[in-house]
Amino acid sequence: MTTSLEVEGLSVDIHTPTGVLHVVRDVSFSVGSGRTLALLGESGCGKSMTAQAVAGLLDPVAEVVGGAVRLDGTDVLELDHTARRALAGPGLGVVFQDALTTLNPVQQVGAQVAEPFRIHERMGRKAARERAVELMERVGIPEPRARARAYPHQFSGGMRQRLLIAMAVALRPSVLLADEPTTALDVTVQAQIMRLLADLRAERSMALVLITHDLAVVAEQADEVAVMYAGSIVETGPVREVFDRPRHPYTRGLLSSVPAGAAKGEPLRSIEGSPPDLAAVPSGCAFRTRCPLAAEICESETPALLEVDGRAAACHFAKELTDA
Amino acid sequence: MPELLEARGLVKTFRASGHRLRALDGVDLHLGKGETLGLVGESGCGKSTLARTLLMLERPDEGTVRFSGVDPFALRGAELLSWRRRVQMVFQDPFGSLNPRLTAAELIGEPWRTHRDLVPSRRRAARVDELLELVGLRATDARRYPQEFSGGQRQRIGIARALASEPDVIVCDEPVSALDLSVQAQVLNLLADLQRELGVAYLFISHDLSVVRHVADRVAVMYLGRVIETGPTEEVFARPRHPYTAALLSAAPSLVPVEGAREIVLTGEVPSPVDPPSGCRFRTRCWLAQDVCAQVRPPMEHGAACHFPLVDNDAVVASAPANQP
């Protein structure tokens, strides 16, 4: 297995009229070919911002203020626009949540799926269209030749998501970033799309970075998980190990908030309060205000993400949780 | 237990650009006092139309609604007003459903401007404080505006507002799906506590099967305008009899993957409700479909509307299509 994507110490700030928000803080992870890493977290935890920074698609108000994003060994943050585009255009595919706003409503989908071939491989219109039809067939769009002439609104949500996936994998990227790819879809369609992503990942030895808030999706799809809270990774490791024996109180709280795990009629063990406003993240450990284990040290010292046997948790009491 | 709310044979058709869309196609439903009925189904199955009909926001083309034995659609004037009070709603979007110009106290007390006799004016401020406390907020929150609250807190205000008119039934339309997981659990706990304390019944609409399994006493599964399976929640989840229910349950990702369980992956998507399949509406995606399924609408028997209900789950696994993208 080779490391396809390596993110090291990535930090992103957003400039707002009232000050600077540190939305991604010193985030590191890596994912190898044919593997799936899930970035798991609740809204505002910085998982999408991390993905956008990796993909080079940050909003102008946001800025990468540190770190490296190595795609097959090359730090794309060091490259100029043209070089980055030449490398990351084919090398890194992206699928977003909302397929309706991502597709161009006034262009035939065949032309849109053909676009990567036209731009990056300088193919002629006809040849690119042929490749697009093949690709649409591969992602499970029935009658692809006829459907290539249709417009996005003539497709269902699931079919639109298939189109986005087709575009994202067109140039055989080594890394595919999927940001909540099934959140807007119904359960039975969600299962189809996850299956398609898993098949493509295996077939093309892609590294898949799955950004999601859904613990069950992570449990079923990912090899490794990185749990984010208030802009930082608080726990990371192989999914089964992390979910079976979480070492960070936040991961624990999340897992016990899932209704499936609780006995019927029993109250769910929820986490107190709600995720912090990024303008007012608590000092020290950002989770301490909601944490049942919080002590004085949590306020004064930010816990480091320390690795112990292939896993890591940023908690002063990680050892106690491990032994518990 | 005498039924609090009972619907029979509800049909509702909408006309849209020359098409006739049958959103409800003969729906039966009942809800007892203090009970939670989970309503499950994918988008376009008619669950929201059903909720709107039970709230009297839509008049059904056919069928009857009975609330404590009374047809609300026949009521007028004061009787209608008092019926309205007894059925309330909690909405999905805690950001869009609260007027940003009103304080929490005004939002919660607004129903009393219509139902004047419910709480005497001199008691109202105190009652707002009680309601705030009941839903886990503080009396000092009364003067704050919706924007000053988090999503979970706003949903609590929405619940307090529904409770202000002392309803017998609350229709919860995806009440936690806009909330983060950690906050979702708090709101689900609150809804359960309130039910125990006040004996209110919930019609709980959700696409999240694990949430429904946790909160609902009984569950009704809808597909293209019909209830295709209904029964006690645990029975339906453990031993689904309708192939669609089995597929839906199997498709939902679970936190603890069952070793050796084969996932049923349905081909295709839900057909358009404008042009639904004849007979059994699920037959175009069903791996058990026979000729009869296209010809005869399956009657509801033993909780499932299917010509070939599943009798044991091993057979489902053996016969179901799997591993096809």
Q: Which residue of B has its CA nearest to A42?
A: B180
Q: What is the pLDDT of residues A246-272, one digit of tens each?
A: 999 999 999 988 887 667 778 888 888
Give whole-number Cα distances, B19 to A156, B13, B14, B169, in Å.
18, 10, 8, 34
Does any domain span residue B209?
Answer: yes
What's at B77, amino acid-wise? G
Are B192 and B314 in a shared domain?
A: no
pLDDT at B316: 56
What percent of chain A has a predicted confidence (pLDDT) above 70? 98
Across residues B282-293, what is the average pLDDT? 94
B215 touches chain A (CB under 8 A): yes
Does any domain span residue B235?
Answer: no
How far is residue A218's CA from residue A246's CA, in Å, rounded to a whole number? 14
Are B245 and B208 in a shared domain?
A: no
DSSP readout, B19-70? Answer: EEEEEEEEEEEEEETT-EEEEE--TTSSHHHHHHHHTTSS--SEEEEEETTB
Q: What is the pLDDT of residues B19-30, one digit of tens each?
A: 888 999 999 999
Which residues does residue B13 pair with via DSSP β-bridges, in sequence order? Answer: B22
Does any domain span residue B273?
Answer: yes
Q: Domain boundary residue among B221, B249, B271?
A: B221
ipTM of the complex: 0.80
Alpha helices in A92-186 (DSSP H): 99-102, 109-120, 125-138, 144-147, 157-169
Residues 6+ apart with CB under 8 A from A263: none
Does any domain span residue B233?
Answer: no
Give whole-number Cα distances, A77 to A29, A47, A247, in Å.
16, 18, 32
Give whole-number Cα distances, A161 to A79, B49, B53, in Å.
31, 27, 33
For the stretch A139-160, what's the b/e string if a residue is b when 16 or more beta carbons lie within 10 angstroms of its beta carbon? bbbeebeebbeeebeebbbbbb
How far is residue A157's CA from residue B180's CA, in Å, rounded to a whole number? 23
Q: What is the pLDDT of residues A5-42, one digit of tens each?
A: 999 999 999 998 888 999 999 999 999 999 999 999 99
Q: B209: which chain A residues are within 8 Å (Cβ-Cβ)?
A: 187
pLDDT at A97: 80
Are B271 and B165 in a shared domain?
A: no
B254 touches chain A (CB under 8 A): yes
Q: How confident is the model at residue A1 (pLDDT cuts 50, 70, 90)?
A: low
* Residue B79, min C-alpha distance to chain A (Å): 36
Are B209 and B274 in a shared domain?
A: no
Are B102 and B63 in a shared domain?
A: yes
pLDDT at A37: 97
- Chain-centre distance for alpha carbon A116: 22
- In a 13 Å sphere around the CA of B246, the CA atoms on its Cβ side amount to 31
Q: Which of A153-162, A308-317, B241-250, B263-272 has the least mean pLDDT?
A: B263-272
Across residues A82-90, what is the average pLDDT? 92
Q: How confident is the model at residue B325 (pLDDT cuts 50, 70, 90)?
A: very low
Q: What is the pLDDT of residues A88-108, one digit of tens each?
A: 989 999 998 877 788 999 999
Across residues B108-126, what is the average pLDDT? 93
Q: A249: which chain B residues are within 8 Å (Cβ-Cβ)?
A: none
pLDDT over 90 at B107, yes or no: yes
Q: Residue B321 burial (CB < 10 Å; 0-12/13-18/19+)?
A: middle
> Cβ–Cβ of B253/A274 closer than 8 Å?
no
> Cβ–Cβ of B214/A243 closer than 8 Å?
no
pLDDT over 50 at A288, yes or no: yes
> Cβ–Cβ of A262/B214 closer than 8 Å?
yes
How far is residue B80's CA from residue B61's CA, in Å, rounded to a whole number? 20
pLDDT at A260: 73
Are B216 and B266 in a shared domain?
A: no
- Range of the structural domain that residue B256 is part of: 240-319
Residue B160 DSSP SS3: helix
Q: Residue B180 burial (CB < 10 Å; 0-12/13-18/19+)?
A: buried
User: Tokens at residue B45, please?
Assistant: 């199955």
Are B139 and B284 in a shared domain?
A: no
B43 touches chain A (CB under 8 A): yes
Are B41 and B129 in a shared domain?
A: yes
A189 touches chain B (CB under 8 A): yes
pLDDT over 80 at A318, yes or no: yes
For the stretch B127-143, what's the b/e string if a residue is b when 16 or more beta carbons lie within 10 angstroms of its beta carbon? bbbebbebbbbeeebbe
> Cβ–Cβ of B265/A265 closer than 8 Å?
no
The number of C-beta contacts closer than 8 angstroms across A and B is: 129
Does any domain span residue B325?
Answer: no
Are B25 and B95 in a shared domain?
A: yes
B86 touches chain A (CB under 8 A): no
What's at A65, amino acid-wise? V
Q: Residue B37 burial (CB < 10 Å; 0-12/13-18/19+)?
A: buried
Structural domains in chain B (count):
2
> Cβ–Cβ of B182/A254 closer than 8 Å?
yes
Q: How confident is the model at residue A321 (pLDDT cuts 50, 70, 90)?
A: confident
pTM: 0.86
Q: B215: which chain A residues are within 8 Å (Cβ-Cβ)?
A: 259
Residue B289 DSSP SS3: coil
Across residues B185-202, what is the average pLDDT? 94
Domains observed in chain A: 3-106+151-323 (3.40.50.300)
* Residue B98, min C-alpha distance to chain A (Å): 19
How far is residue B169's CA from residue B68's CA, in Å, rounded to a whole number? 11
The CATH number assigned to the domain holding B143 equals 3.40.50.300
Across residues B140-145, what is the average pLDDT? 93
Q: Domain boundary residue among B221, B252, B273?
A: B221
Are B205 and B269 in a shared domain?
A: no
Tell me how many degrees the CA angle B36-B41-B44 measures, rounded to the nearest 5: 130
Does any domain span residue B102?
Answer: yes
Q: B42: which chain A residues are within 8 Å (Cβ-Cβ)?
A: 186-189
Across residues B283-305, what is the average pLDDT? 95
* Dihedral sign computed on CA atoms, order A150, A152, A154, A155: positive
pLDDT over 70 at A127, yes or no: yes
Q: What are the backbone angles phi and psi of residue B249, rounded to the nearest 5°?
A: -65, -40
Q: How confident is the model at residue B323 (pLDDT cuts 50, 70, 90)?
A: very low
Are B97 and B38 in a shared domain?
A: yes
Does any domain span residue B297?
Answer: yes
Q: Which of A26-35, A242-251, B80-89, B250-259 has the least mean pLDDT?
A: B250-259
Does any domain span residue B228?
Answer: no
Are B307 and B180 in a shared domain?
A: no
